Structure 1
Amino acid sequence: MKTANLAIVFTDIQGFTERTSRQTLEENQRLLRTHNDLLAPVFKAFGGRIIKSIGDAFLVTFESPTQAVLSGMAIQDRLWQYNRGVPDAERLDVRVAINVGEVRLESNDVFGEPVNIASRVESIAEAGQVFFTEAVYLAMNKAEVPSQEVGSFELKGIPGKIRVFRVPRAPYRVETPSVVHLPSEPSLENEQPPFGNLALSRVPSSMLAPGPDLAATAAALGSRAATVIQAVKSGRRLSLPPRALAVGGGALVLLLLGIGFVVLRASPVEAAIEEVAEASATQEKLELAEKARKLIAEEKLPGEKNLLLGKLDEALEAPGKAVDHYRVAVKAGNDEAGERLTRMLKHQECRVRSEVATTLGELRLESARGSLEALARNGGPGDEPDALWGLGCNSRKKAEKALERIGR
């Protein structure tokens, strides 16, 4: 058994479950793509290793506790920039929680009490904040990272109280190449990113390259890109500093012209499944599904084949069949199938969430613990709190039983 002393970072989107219930599948997928485009490069810039991304959540490890906290600060400042350029309905408000300790390394995953503690701290963290434990506070370089104690907390399943700290809001500001100044609007000038770009300024602008989503592109160009576009449309004059023009000018021109894009090419089978999901007529869906099945039949690996069949079932709006295929794929060692299953814990239908929770319990999928805990704590649409087994549906109880099988 291999072990290592690592900093563990958990992030998730505030109100994600409620939000996805109001959005279409396409809108949810676009949200998650934007979320990934904004956060993943920042983790990489500070030496983080993304262990898994499950729906709206990231689990990332760092060798340095200081770098872990700095990445959280940079993420919050980057999201601050992004949120200023999009409507309220498209905001991304993320929580960051960090712990450090000796963990077990198994099959590209991490296990142990430090992981559990980080997950519990995430549940009490606030959106827009970076929370971390006393273990991180004692191990990090305090000259690089300011800190403020939040308090001591009793966390479920963790013996004793855990002292929790956070990074305080910054009274200072460090400029980054992506920031576009608008001197004509002093009210905007007085607003500050939450952590003053102290960490974000260390990230090379080349690592924050625009992604396929236009809103993410605006975020990469800086906090004012959307305002610049609006100003140009209204004919208002702007004064841009040379550095902003040098770094983002070309991309900004593309953005203003509305032609900035990146072409993403999916595999033939993934593209076929996407066509099924987008089709509206039943007959068309069935014909496209048959085409997708023929492509999937060429896949030799059982794990990959069942993963693709599960995705096709989801596109056909047959979640029960998808769960069965994902179960087989997980048993064959396919990690993505486990992630897809875990994501289905947020399904709108109680019976689907219940079946998924039961399956995750049977598989004893440790990576699903955090999502199962969230379902056990909050329940979901259609849950009947007093439902008895066989009468009504209560996915919260199913999640509790799954956690018992996994081992709290």
Structure 2
Amino acid sequence: MNSGTDRKLTTILCADVAGYSRLMNKDEGETLSRLKAAREIFSDFITRYNGRIVNMTGDGLVCEFSSVVNAVQCAVEVQNRINEDNLSLSPADQMLYRIGINLGDVLIEGDDIFGEGVNVAARLEALAPVGGICISGSVFDQVKNKLPKHFEFLGNKTVKNIADPVPVYSLMLTEMPDVYKNATDSDLSSEDASQEETEDDRKIRGYVKRQAAFNRRATAFGAITLLLFIINMATSPDYWWFLWPAAGFAVSLIIQGIMIFRGPHHGKEWEERKINELKARGYKPRP
């Protein structure tokens, strides 16, 4: 065992149960039993493909492979096996995994590994479809001509705590293409869904909430203004005093609207997002 700290290039596979909190809340005993069975499946295939389990924490698993091809083949075998075992269950009862794979440099401390290489694999796992696999661009470069699989480029994704956008590919499980269509993110608990959102997802969700709050505020101001108009007409029709509070409401709404609706369309974040979109499309500037 290496008691010091060293570095190496390795292939990291991260896996996690989709909707684990919901399943535990429904039936703790049954969920734990099925989790143990799934771990045995992982362990068997990881050993078969010469991998090593780094740790198993809760419903998650981290392992490493010296071969990128072996890591992807192992992930495919595991997902097909687990997905097939869940076919007879209703979508609400299925225990399906997400898997993310990255090739990266890691820190070694004892039997554990740390660093950005591991963090990227964890972010890819969160981006993967239920029952599916996402891989980084570094993994894709190594396996694209070695495995007869279909890879779909999902774009350069900005993920939490990673400085540069990560090229992300989804690997199609061609043996069972429809297996995880019934299990969607709507089946997950709000706790799991919030943990699996990317930084961009959270920003978009916040922007939509601000828009919704603005719309509710505008509706309330409109109703108050109408009520004041009715009272004004009934009590003093010769003096339109209701226009003063209505003007105050209007100015407040205009300021709030400018602050909300200009946000996502301007500034550095918008520019960086557009640059990443153009790069993902292979855009080439004119000479």
TM over 0.5: yes
Aligned to 1:124: 127
Aligned to 1:4: 8
Distance 1:105 1:33 in 2: 27
Q: CA deviation at 1:73?
A: 0.8
Is 1:49 the counterpart of 2:52? The answer is yes
Distance 2:44 2:177 in 1: 19
Q: CA deviation at 1:17?
A: 1.1
Alignment of 1:217-366 (within 5 A): none
Task: Indicate if the aligned counterparts of 2:134 and 2:168 stay in contact, CA closer than 8 A.
Answer: yes
Task: Indicate if the aligned counterparts of 2:127 and 2:196 stay in contact, CA closer than 8 A.
Answer: no
Secondary structure of residue in 1 paired with 2:157: strand
Distance 1:194 1:374 in 2: 23
Q: Residue 166 of structure 1 is aligned with which of 167, 170, 180?
A: 170
- Structure 1 gap ranges (5+): 171-191, 197-371, 378-408
Is 1:139 the counterpart of 2:142? The answer is yes
Q: CA deviation at 1:125?
A: 1.3
Deviations 1:209-244 (A, max 9, x none): xxxxxxxxxxxxxxxxxxxxxxxxxxxxxxxxxxxx
Secondary structure of residue in 2 paired with 1:9: strand
* Percent of aligned pairs sharing the same letter: 23
Aligned to 2:32: 29
Higher relative contact order structure (alpha carbons within 8 Å, sequence separation ≥ 6): 2
**What is the total number of aligned residue pairs between the two structures?**
182
Task: Indicate if the aligned counterparts of 1:32 and 1:55 stay in contact, CA closer than 8 A.
Answer: no
Is 1:18 the counterpart of 2:1? The answer is no
**Which residue identity lines up with residue 162 of structure 1 in the other structure?**
V
Aligned to 2:243: none
- Please identify runs of 4+ aligned residues in structure 1 that moved more than 3 A: 85-90, 372-375
Aligned to 2:73: 70
Task: Indicate if the aligned counterparts of 2:132 and 2:171 stay in contact, CA closer than 8 A.
Answer: yes
Task: Indicate if the aligned counterparts of 2:69 and 2:146 stay in contact, CA closer than 8 A.
Answer: no
Task: Indicate if the aligned counterparts of 2:50 and 2:65 stay in contact, CA closer than 8 A.
Answer: yes
Distance 2:57 2:88 in 1: 26
- Structure 2 gap ranges (5+): 180-193, 200-287
Q: CA deviation at 1:38?
A: 2.3
Q: CA deviation at 1:59?
A: 0.2
Q: Residue 94 of structure 1 is aligned with which of 87, 97, 108?
A: 97
Distance 2:104 2:173 in 1: 26
- The structure with the larger Rg is 2
Distance 2:173 2:195 in 1: 30
Aligned to 1:149: 153
Deviations 1:352-397 (A, max 9, x none): xxxxxxxxxxxxxxxxxxxx9669x9xxxxxxxxxxxxxxxxxxxx
